[in-house]
């Protein structure tokens, strides 16, 4: 394959705010979550770069780290300008760069695709809500950089034979219209094959989940506190069940699904990350599953698939809440900016 080129995102250019316009709640929230998430990404990527042999994959990891560092720097400048208290996020205390290898080189590419999807979701939703030109420019630039980056990840995965492609289905012979109400059924009788959008979201969710499961296996091996370890094990079981159910929806119509990645995790039990980082990471990525499952449900046309996504959403929502409770219990949950409680101001 051709050498992997650096993505030119080392410096994110944003306009200076030349007005007295304050940050809106949407701008505060999106900047806050992007800053916090990328402080975590810096820790993870710096550790990955300690244990990578493939030079092409190393270059992709370096590109990812450059993007995260540039984004953190740009948002930090905005916060300082606005006298906004800098979130603590995740620091050198949350990563041990001397820890043994926990993942194979191949896993890094799957991980980067998995986390880039989460970034795309945050940035694309942010852009229509941004009012200030400097904030809007930052998210437009970041979205563009992330699109280029995930394209690079896919290209390297394909060149190395790691890319599982979505299934192919026959090209329609003509335009057709649904004639019967049983097109929407799915529990009994003659169940129709999934349509293209249903297949796409089954595949996407399985692809996310097999990466998530491998990460949960790794985190459960190295977690120090019993509650965090048990939380990771429970997440692994939930994720594995969702993979099995979603894969079955494809397999029953002879369509392939992405393979598991469990074998890409080493047997190390020495943690490279703090329990705080690992717990927040999985809460954050399970929150992405809520968005991903909701997207699948919104483009679905069969009742049984709708019921499946409803169950998945319930599983994940309860899991995220339980994780948040552990974060609060240990004093690890940093509070996002919030609106004023006017009633509390009037109490004696």
For 263-319, the pLDDT digits (tens) are 999 999 999 999 999 999 999 999 999 999 999 999 888 889 999 999 999 999 999
Do both 153 and 200 map to the same domain?
no
pLDDT band at 189, cuts 50/70/90?
low
Q: Span 122-127, mean pLDDT?
A: 94
Do both 203 and 319 map to the same domain?
yes
Q: Which CATH number fits the domain that encloses residue 249?
A: 1.20.1260.10
Do both 154 and 200 map to the same domain?
no
CA–CA distances in Å: residue 277 to residues 116, 177, 206, 300: 18, 50, 24, 35
**Mean pLDDT score across all residues of the chain:** 92
What is the model's pLDDT at position 176?
A: 83
Residue 76 falls inside a structural domain? yes
Do both 302 and 240 map to the same domain?
yes
What's the gap between Cα 187 and its chain centre? Answer: 31
Handedness of CA 322, 40, 89, 290 (dihedral sign): negative
Do both 237 and 110 map to the same domain?
no
Q: How many domains does the chain have?
A: 2
Residue 142, token pair as written in the block: 């970041």
Residue 316, token pair as written in the block: 């994940």
The pTM of the full predicted model, rounded to 2 decimals, is 0.92
Residue 184 falls inside a structural domain? no
Residues in Cβ contact with 193 at an 8 Å cutoff, skipping those fewer than 6 apart: 253
CA–CA distance, 286 with 327 (Å, rounded to integer): 15
User: Domain span at residue 234?
Assistant: 189-329
Residue 122 falls inside a structural domain? yes
Residues in Cβ contact with 309 at an 8 Å cutoff, skipping those fewer than 6 apart: 293, 294, 296, 297, 300
Contact assessment for residue 309 and residue 293, using Cβ atoms and an 8 Å cutoff: yes
Q: Which residues pair with 95 in a beta bridge?
A: 273
Do both 206 and 294 map to the same domain?
yes
Residue 267 falls inside a structural domain? yes
Residues in Cβ contact with 56 at an 8 Å cutoff, skipping those fewer than 6 apart: 1, 3, 4, 156, 159, 160
Residue 277 falls inside a structural domain? yes
């Amino acid at each position: 394959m051709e050498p992997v080129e650096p993505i030119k995102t080392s410096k994110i250019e944003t306009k200076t705010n030349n007005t007295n316009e304050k940050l809106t709640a949407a701008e505060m929230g999106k900047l806050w979550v992007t800053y916090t998430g990328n402080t975590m990404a810096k820790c993870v990527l710096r550790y990955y770069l300690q244990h990578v042999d493939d030079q092409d994959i190393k270059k992709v990891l370096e590109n990812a780290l450059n993007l995260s560092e540039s984004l953190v720097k740009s948002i930090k400048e905005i916060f300082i300008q606005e006298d906004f208290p800098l979130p603590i996020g995740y620091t050198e205390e949350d990563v041990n760069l001397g820890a043994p290898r926990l993942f194979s080189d191949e896993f890094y590419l799957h991980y980067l695709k998995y986390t880039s999807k989460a970034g795309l979701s945050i940035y694309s939703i942010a852009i229509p809500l941004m009012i200030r030109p400097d904030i809007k420019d930052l998210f437009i630039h970041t979205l563009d950089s992330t699109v280029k980056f995930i394209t690079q990840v896919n290209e390297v995965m394909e060149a190395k034979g790691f890319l599982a492609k979505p299934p192919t289905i026959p090209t329609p012979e003509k335009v057709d219209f649904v004639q019967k109400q049983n097109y929407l059924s799915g529990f009994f009788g003659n169940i129709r094959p999934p349509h293209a959008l249903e297949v796409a979201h089954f595949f996407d969710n399985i692809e996310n989940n097999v990466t998530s499961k491998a990460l949960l296996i790794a985190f459960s091996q190295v977690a120090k506190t019993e509650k965090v370890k048990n939380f990771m094990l429970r997440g692994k079981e939930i994720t594995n069940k969702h993979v099995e159910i979603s894969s079955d929806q494809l397999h029953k119509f002879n369509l392939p699904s992405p393979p598991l990645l469990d074998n890409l995790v080493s047997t190390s039990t020495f943690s490279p990350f703090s329990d705080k980082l690992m717990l927040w990471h999985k809460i954050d990525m399970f929150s992405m599953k809520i968005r991903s499952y909701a997207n699948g449900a919104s483009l679905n046309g069969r009742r049984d698939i709708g019921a499946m996504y409803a169950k998945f959403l319930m599983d994940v929502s309860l899991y995220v809440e339980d994780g948040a409770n552990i974060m609060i219990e240990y004093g690890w949950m940093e509070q996002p900016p919030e609106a004023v409680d006017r009633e509390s101001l009037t109490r004696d």
